[in-house]
Amino acid sequence: MDSLTPTAAGKTEALAARYGRDAIPPAGPWNETIAGMLGHRSVRAYRPDPVPEGTLETLVAAASSAATSSNLQTWSVVAVRDPATLAALAEVASGQKHIRQCPLFLVWVADLSRNARLGEAEGVTLEGLPYFESFLVAAVDAALAAQNAVVAAESLGLSTVYIGALRNDVERVAGLLGLPPGAVGVFGLCVGYAANPGEVKPRLPQATVLHHERYGTDAEAAQRAAYDDLLRDFSARNEMGPETWTRRVINRIGTLKAMAGRDRLAAAMRALGFPLR
Amino acid sequence: MDSLTPTAAGKTEALAARYGRDAIPPAGPWNETIAGMLGHRSVRAYRPDPVPEGTLETLVAAASSAATSSNLQTWSVVAVRDPATLAALAEVASGQKHIRQCPLFLVWVADLSRNARLGEAEGVTLEGLPYFESFLVAAVDAALAAQNAVVAAESLGLSTVYIGALRNDVERVAGLLGLPPGAVGVFGLCVGYAANPGEVKPRLPQATVLHHERYGTDAEAAQRAAYDDLLRDFSARNEMGPETWTRRVINRIGTLKAMAGRDRLAAAMRALGFPLR
């Protein structure tokens, strides 16, 4: 058992906030970096304060330091501060006001265009580029880079929220940012100082997402019922209505209407130069 | 200018290792968490030492704390220690020996099957599930979770390497791990103590990957030439042959043969229950 040093108590509290008191996992080693990650919450209201000088370059240095498949580095990032562009991006994202409000907005780009330009300059056909695999490499590269930037930002006392709703209209986003063929904004990221950081959102228990040797679902129904209770209480406390996880999942992916245009994503990607072969 | 406190000097050294001395970006705020991320290197040789008890649960707690699109939590992770499974996974990955060598191997799963089971149990058709968008959400969710686990592991003195080559045969991986339809291993991750951590690998300059307001390529050719020099020297120092970045990119995605089966990924994904509509 851990002694009740401040760190051990902090660890238990952090795990309870993330998983609920009834599902605290037997986590071992702990430190400040991990405690910082456990404290993550997505923030959708920002103070007007700018980020300190050099913050963007620090975040991109962290992003560049993430692993990248075969060192292909198939990602880019566009930093947007122009109010007209931010207003247009917010419109794409169904009006999410924090896009206009945050002092730094980043669009993370799955970018095969740089490698394509390399091939053209060298007079070589890169046969792998048109394949689904290459888009997936680029999307994962962009996600790993972005998550490093998020951890870096939060370690500096900043808050963030990913904006997947840029995928409501990837063609319009590409036009706004001047993206070449083979480049697509996979998500945005607001960065700034939280107006109200709010409460850590509980997640599914480790027993649901972590499997040993082989995937199993024996206890999943009971785990989901317990998590439904946990999330209903969280939602009620945070003025989001007493919704269970089950209900939220159904609302979010139950209908094509809820996809807000993203049911056309594959076609839009092909129009942007990703054959997804 | 920074004064030469140990931290400021360490920051300059970390940025020089990542970008080369001629491309140090004007990074601002800095701390230990960020320094840790800057020090990342992918490690392909591990000591036999086990990871401390509870490490897996700590890493998954960090992973669970990453953002997830609309809280759908469309990822899972399978921890593999069984030697027979590891040998089979290494075979899928063109024989990468560190898969058998590392004390902890994690397969990160883009997982729409959990939400599908929820829909079935509730008697609701989740219309969004068959779409390309939903797979992308799941792949990005898995990547964000995995990258938090990587940052956590490295903060504890462990090393890691992603194994994208599991995608050489996603159907065999799904069979080995008992994945249900709608779940696919998007990449693996070795975790353990480095036999030889090696040198930080330089990346493309920030001027190449970071754009302001709009995407631009005016200086890209010159930046690529400078990075080619930097990476050739790195490769020569690290006994990988004096290869430029340009040459490596061409070798990696120039031919279908180099894809080692991943040109069939879209078809394999459909067979695993992702229509990618």
Is the CB of B61 less than 8 angstroms away from the CB of A147? no
Q: Which residues from chain A sit within 8 angstroms of residue B136, using beta carbons?
A: 139, 167, 186, 265
Show pLDDT as tens, one digit a residue, over chain A (277 residues): 444 456 789 999 999 999 999 999 999 999 999 999 999 999 999 999 999 999 999 999 999 999 999 999 999 999 999 999 999 999 999 999 999 999 999 999 999 999 999 999 999 999 999 999 999 999 999 999 999 999 999 999 999 999 999 999 999 999 999 999 999 999 999 999 999 989 999 999 999 999 999 999 999 999 999 999 999 999 999 988 879 999 999 999 999 999 999 999 999 999 999 999 9
Task: Identify the closest residue of chain A to B79 by CA–CA distance.
Answer: A212
Rounded to the nearest angstrom, the minimum Cα separation between B90 and chain A is 15
Please give the pLDDT value at position B3: 45
The CA distances from residue A52 to A100, A197, B33, in Å, are: 18, 19, 18
Closest CA to A266 of A257, A258, A275, A256: A275
Is the CB of A28 less than 8 angstroms away from the CB of B213? no
Please give the pLDDT value at position B7: 78
The CA distances from residue A174 to A138, A186, B98, in Å, are: 16, 10, 40
Q: Give the angle A243-A92-B118 at the CA atoms, nearest 5°.
A: 30
Task: Give mean pLDDT, residues B209-222.
Answer: 97
Please give the pLDDT value at position A1: 40
What is d(CA A4, CA A97) in angstroms, rounded to the nearest whole number?
A: 43
Is the CB of A262 less than 8 angstroms away from the CB of B27? no
Task: Identify the closest residue of chain B to A211 by CA–CA distance.
Answer: B78
Read off the pLDDT of residues B109-132 as tens digits, 9 standing for 90 and up.
Answer: 999 999 999 999 999 999 999 999
Fold category of A55-198 in CATH: NADH Oxidase (3.40.109)
Q: Which of B65, B136, B162 sits opposite A139 (nearest CB)?
A: B136
Task: Identify the closest residue of chain A to B152 by CA–CA distance.
Answer: A34
- State both tokens at A273: 């130069």
Q: Strand B210-212 to strand A75-80: parallel, antiparallel, or no bridges (unpaired)?
A: parallel
Please give the pLDDT value at position B8: 86
Position B72 pLDDT exceeds 60: yes
Per-domain boundaries in chain B: 55-198, 201-264
Place of tokens 């480049």: A183
**Hey, what amino acid is at B267?**
A
Q: Which of B85, B143, B258 sits opposite A140 (nearest CB)?
A: B143
Please give the pLDDT value at position A6: 60
What is d(CA A105, CA A85) in angstroms, rounded to the nearest whole number?
A: 10
Rounded to the nearest angstrom, the minimum Cα separation between A82 and chain B is 7
Q: Which of B26, B79, B140 sits opposite A212 (nearest CB)?
A: B79
Position B5 pLDDT exceeds 80: no
Is the CB of B180 less than 8 angstroms away from the CB of A215? yes
Is the CB of B213 less than 8 angstroms away from the CB of A248? no
Backbone dihedral angles phi then psi of residue B187, each to the nearest 5 degrees: -165, 160
At a CB cut-off of 8 Å and minimum separation 6, what does B5 contact? Answer: none
Q: Which string of DSSP letters, residue by residue, matches A50-94?
A: PPPTTHHHHHHHHHHTS--GGG---EEEEEE--HHHHHHHHHHTT
Is the CB of B28 less than 8 angstroms away from the CB of A217? no
Read off the pLDDT of residues B145-186 as tens digits, 9 standing for 90 and up.
Answer: 999 999 999 999 999 999 999 999 999 999 999 999 999 999
Is the CB of A147 less than 8 angstroms away from the CB of B147? yes
- State both tokens at A243: 């919704």
The strands making up B75-80's β-sheet, listed across from edge to edge, are A210-212, B75-80, B104-111, B183-192, B159-163
Q: Strand A183-192 to strand A104-111: parallel, antiparallel, or no bridges (unpaired)?
A: antiparallel
What is d(CA B164, CA A251) in angstroms, rounded to the nearest whole number?
A: 33
Is the CB of B60 less than 8 angstroms away from the CB of A209? yes
At a CB cut-off of 8 Å and minimum separation 6, what does B198 contact? Answer: B41, B43, B238
Burial class of residue B62, CB neighbours in 10 A (0-12, 13-18, 19+): buried
Task: Identify the closest residue of chain A to B128 by CA–CA distance.
Answer: A253
Task: Identify the closest residue of chain B to A54 by CA–CA distance.
Answer: B28
Please give the pLDDT value at position B240: 81
Q: Which of B58, B79, B178 sits opposite A28 (nearest CB)?
A: B58
Is the CB of A178 less than 8 angstroms away from the CB of B151? no
What is d(CA A78, CA B212) in angstroms, rounded to the nearest whole number?
A: 6
Please give the pLDDT value at position B6: 59
Position B2 pLDDT exceeds 80: no
Please give the pLDDT value at position A2: 42
What is d(CA B8, CA B35) in angstroms, rounded to the nearest whole number?
A: 11
Rounded to the nearest angstrom, the minimum Cα separation between A149 and chain B is 9
Task: Give mean pLDDT, residues B243-255.
Answer: 96
